[in-house]
Chain A
């Protein structure tokens, strides 16, 4: 039994290293189009994974988490416009997102379920309006950034590829440590039963706030990188609620509350939507929607669940019969 577990562990580590090397070598052998797609996938994977810290573990769905994406993007753009280097800019942006969550977290996290989701959406929309109406953010006409000047376009792609990759790796590591540690236990207890969690000595407001602030930090970081990559941002673009909907679907499809579920979800959704979009230009949303519906019907707990059930067809059909949708 023990030996088997050890072997499984080693297998997992080998697999992980293999995937890492593969992803490390990939951009040198792919065309610009595919590298770009991968940067997109990494970006959504970070967004999904960081939102998963609150949504997956604590069960609070922050529908408006895209607000941190927008804030990170705008803060980076403004700071770079003032001559502050890029890396300092994204870190400051992320830190401000972290602190912003601590400031608004206390009242908002008192709400639960749909109320919490809608409140976070309110924060996001309000921030969008503020940004659209300020001078420092360029108002409705958006902000342009000084592009990254490297010898070739390919180098620029590689820069963003590896930067997103690095941030993704850090986000996954942080999530892994959350899942194994005290914070993870506290959040899962809160998700399962908040009253019960309080009465075994868990300071529930504090842990919810920390989880949300961490997710805001990584979302803001990604927003900053996105702004530099695009070199132009405007408020409807970076505060777009569709981005939030997308990474929430990714979390659900992959498996909420797991370390690797949101990653699988991000890869799956981005790949499929890209493929469907290129093959069926007119019907692509219909097809994408149908795929998501099928996944939810057959795997209500996400891909990770399917993996835990050893990919059996019986398990899939049981979900339909029991109506676990």
Chain B
């Protein structure tokens, strides 16, 4: 089933066309990757889905219901949660409180403080923050802030999770952990739409990958197809990288 369908999404900022006539869908239960050079419109597309921006043209349907024009909190309540490229912690609140806030609202609001607190702890354990419950959000390292950002989105029990560059700035080891975590999230029944520059990650876990260039959709396909796609190689990946990627894939039995 197609859980999210977008048709002809266009967004201009003055003379700059950030998204031009983008049509795509997300299949329920899949991991869809989104790649593209800086400024190709990835975050704008996420913003259009999340309600932070309103597309100038086009429609976005979630479970058959159009969501263009809804406010971010309404979209979150329908079951689309997101993380931000620049993390948005609630400074002055502890890690636990940050996530409890997410649990009290989100898709299943009106829970008691007790269940919200329990759920927050569960999710924090999942992202490996269980030992930092009482630390203040502003004292966390960037890795932990990204984990917290993920926990805040997850605890709202989304159907789709939009991840905007959660792996940027992580060490290889941390990236591996993040990939594992992403797969675990998918396994729990959440559909994922991930924007990512770390090729190892996005190619390694995505079922399908979309590539944007200058605001337009350049290619969609499985990771293998995208690596071979001439236009994607020219615009984004580069010859050397594509060859290396291909070699790595062939090396793996």
Residues of A within 8 A of B (CB): 180-182, 185-186, 188-189, 191-193, 195-204
| Contact A193/B88 with A186-B101, A186-B105 known, Cβ cut-off 8 Å | yes
| Contact A185/B100 with A198-B71, A201-B73 known, Cβ cut-off 8 Å | yes
A15 and B41 CA atoms in complex are apart in Å by 59
Residues on B with C-beta less than 8 A from A186 are 101, 104-105
Complex contact A185–B101 (CB within 8 A): yes
Segment at the A interface, from B89-97, B181-189, B224-232, B235-243: B89-97
Residues on B with C-beta less than 8 A from A203 are 71, 73
A195 and B53 CA atoms in complex are apart in Å by 12
Check if B113 is an interface residue, CB within 8 A of chain A: yes
Total cross-chain contacts (CB, 8 A) = 80
| Contact A185/B73 with A196-B90, A199-B81 known, Cβ cut-off 8 Å | no
Can you list 20 A-B pairs, Cβ within 8 angstroms, ordered by A?
A185-B97, A186-B105, A189-B101, A192-B90, A192-B91, A192-B137, A195-B52, A196-B84, A198-B72, A199-B72, A200-B101, A200-B152, A200-B156, A201-B102, A201-B105, A201-B109, A201-B156, A202-B105, A203-B71, A203-B73
Complex contact B93–A189 (CB within 8 A): yes
A185 and B50 CA atoms in complex are apart in Å by 22
A201 and B154 CA atoms in complex are apart in Å by 12
Across the interface, name the chain A residue whose C-beta is closest to B107: A201
Question: Lowest 8 A-B CB distances belong to which pairs?
Answer: A196-B88, A201-B105, A201-B76, A192-B90, A198-B72, A185-B101, A200-B102, A201-B106
| Contact A200/B81 with A192-B90, A193-B90 known, Cβ cut-off 8 Å | yes
Residues on B with C-beta less than 8 A from A196 are 84, 88-90, 152
Residues on B with C-beta less than 8 A from A181 are 113
A202 and B90 CA atoms in complex are apart in Å by 13
A174 and B136 CA atoms in complex are apart in Å by 26
Check if B77 is an interface residue, CB within 8 A of chain A: yes
A181 and B113 CA atoms in complex are apart in Å by 7
Check if B20 is an interface residue, CB within 8 A of chain A: no
